[in-house]
Structure 1
């Protein structure tokens, strides 16, 4: 009996020994790697600090008008003549009559029913259709005056808008003076700009030369359509 008990105990001890040996050997072969931190690191791209590129500066309307053509603007206006009359004392159509529109108080033409949005935009008549205000409005009417009844999509071209404004300016017996562009920055080598041009007389020499009669020639593209001719075709604008 004692012999059998010793056999059983020996078998148990042997089994335990074998299991422990297998465990130690397994750990030695398959050494588990424990990360310093639990979980997985997720890399997220950092937001750029540069920000969106700056919008390109728009050319001032005074600069655009310096090279604008009223004749070209009259052609641009053809797309608007279905809605606007431009004759002096002419009727309102889908849009108000545009004779004398430049520098006119906004939403003020007699007999025309303006939208609530345009009346609010006018600030009670304090705001005028200056060249700048007309330029911004004609570019994107519904963006400039949300809720306006004007269905025109707008003129994206700077040249077309400037030509159109030059034409609208002629629709008056006393055209509004063109705005003066800001003085241009001196060109590279500004000192050279101060020097007299080749073949030009010096100040002293010029003083000795008798003044000659000169006739100022109109700048190219700056011709104005006389009021009579303005009645034939009309520009795109709006109130």
Structure 2
């Protein structure tokens, strides 16, 4: 257990996703496997609210791919996207309420060398800055070596842990549209469901959704928000 933190219980997640999402900021997601332990303090998340959310995977109902979202809170929904990256979501609310929070970014506070080894599996000209190790949802999953075999993992089975600061209070944060979403789900006035710690160096870059005919270049982040879950991640 990291000093200054305690393990959450399942009731922490068994609430509406819009209550859970901002409270994830400043908490730590941790995984232990045969290679060691990696701990990431969360700095950026997005909320997805199932059938009431046109940006959510579960908007059109249950499929084999998203079935974990319809199960008990406190499980990991992991999926592969764009043939390139995995992404980690934490399931919230009650069974058959397919709500969850995408972990978009965080600070690696333990196991940084292991995380770096995983992130730099391909040769690079220069080492990744520490702030970029877990900047973007695909990067978070890579730090944890998470893949489709982890879909459905229980946060309370001992391999994963979710840790809350002993003095936990709501971390000052900013909200905005989710990254890479176009259409109704990308409307930040209706769905300002990206939450991030303002000025945290690990927060990923914002890119708006782009229509096939769009020629607009994406902007660097300040306010922000994805169902292109890799849009805006720093490689």
Is the structural similarity TM-score above 0.5? no
* Bigger Rg, which one: 1
Q: Under a length normalisation based on structure 2, what TM-score does the superposition of the two structures give?
A: 0.25
Q: Give the structure, 1 or 2, with the largest relative contact order (CA under 8 Å, sep 6 or more).
A: 1
Q: Which has the higher strand share?
A: 2
TM-score by length of 1: 0.25
Q: Which has the higher helix share?
A: 1
